[in-house]
Amino acid sequence: MRGYVEGLQQRILAGLEDLDGGRFRIDPWDRPGGGGGVSSVLEGGRVLEKAGVNTSAVYGLLPDRMTSVLGVDKQSFFATGISLVIHPMNPYVPCVHANFRYFALGQDLADPDDEWFGGGADLTPCYPFLEDAQHFHGVWRDTCSRHALADYRRFKEECDRYFYLPHRGETRGVGGIFFDYLRGEAEATFDFVSGAGDAFLEAYLPIVMRRMSTSYGAAEREYQEIRRGRYVEFNLLFDRGTKFGIETHGRTESVLMSLPPRARWLYGWMPEPGSREARASWYFKARNWLKLSESDVP
């Protein structure tokens, strides 16, 4: 998994650099307790306003906080994964987040419960299009359909449940898939998780290509900053990875790399009735995108 994750990071960086024309800044780091990672960031690109693709492979003794979260008494662990967030410049190009990770407890893996995979990918548009949501979800449905242990419908529902802002009564975006604690036959699980990682560029790049030349002005950028405010709210108030990273004294810049370049909060902001911004909010509910057609869009 570690080797896979490092290779995937290379492929994703290459794909994104190709798209943007800019170059990622590569930032390797060591973890005092064991292991380390490679953060890579591109800021101020032509297409990507801020993109971060992190990998890490860390091991050592479990932080106390983590033994209690996991409810285990094993002391040592190994974890590896890739995590990425892309905030594009153009408000018509959706933000995307994905991560694929592996976790092992103890030294011997004698108990199959001692290792598991997790991950997922989700799309957060400002100005959503059914076509984009369908393309994104279609790739994940197809990927899941190739692996007996993967259940698109369940993973999609878990994603909708996880990326939800209760205080706003809205989802973070149009979802995707989310899965955690995938245990069982490790080879088959790895095949699925690596298959999902392999599908990432196919799920995202065609959407970027389709939207990146749409013209926009200050009003769209302002709305984008407001939506990015919601993104910040989710990540700092609810995201388990962020909270865990902060509480266990993870590397702050890597943990918070997911935050958008800029966000805005206006008191009591509401979209103008009938505006594109008002119509966008229809998309911030859990819906079965693959079963909808353009005539369902209000």
Say how far apart CA 257 and CA 242 lie, in whole Å.
10
Q: Residue 104 or residue 255: which is nearer to its own copies going by CB? A: 255
Q: Residue 210 or residue 243: which is nearer to its own copies going by CB? A: 243
Q: Rule CB under 8 A: is residue 112 a binding residue for its own copies?
A: no
Q: Rule CB under 8 A: is residue 43 a binding residue for its own copies?
A: yes
CB neighbour list of residue 36: distance below 8 Å, 6 or more residues apart: 28, 29, 30, 56, 57, 58
Two tokens, residue 141: 């449905």
For the CA atoms of the chain, what is the radius of gyration? 19
Burial of 12 (0-12, 13-18, 19+ CB in 10 A): buried
Q: Residue 71 or residue 268: which is nearer to its own copies going by CB? A: 268
Minimum separation from the CB atom of position 172 to its own copies (A): 14
Q: Rule CB under 8 A: is residue 11 a binding residue for its own copies?
A: no
Closest CA to 119 of 35, 55, 66, 197: 197
Q: Give the total of residues touching its own copies (CB under 8 A).
A: 34
Q: Residue 89 or residue 133: which is nearer to its own copies going by CB? A: 89
**Considering only residues 143-172, where is the footprint of its own copies by CB under 8 A?**
166-168
Q: Rule CB under 8 A: is residue 236 a binding residue for its own copies?
A: yes
Query: Residues 30, 35, 38, CA angle at the centre, nearest 5°?
Result: 55
Question: Which one-letter DSSP state was computed for residue 74?
Answer: -
**Considering only residues 266-295, where is the footprint of its own copies by CB under 8 A?**
266-268
Say how far apart CA 98 and CA 203 lie, in whole Å.
11
Q: Is 167 in the active site?
A: no
Minimum separation from the CB atom of position 71 to its own copies (A): 20
Residues that bind its own copies (CB under 8 A): 25, 27, 39, 41, 43, 50, 52, 166-168, 225, 229, 232-233, 236-237, 243, 246, 249, 252-253, 255-257, 259-268
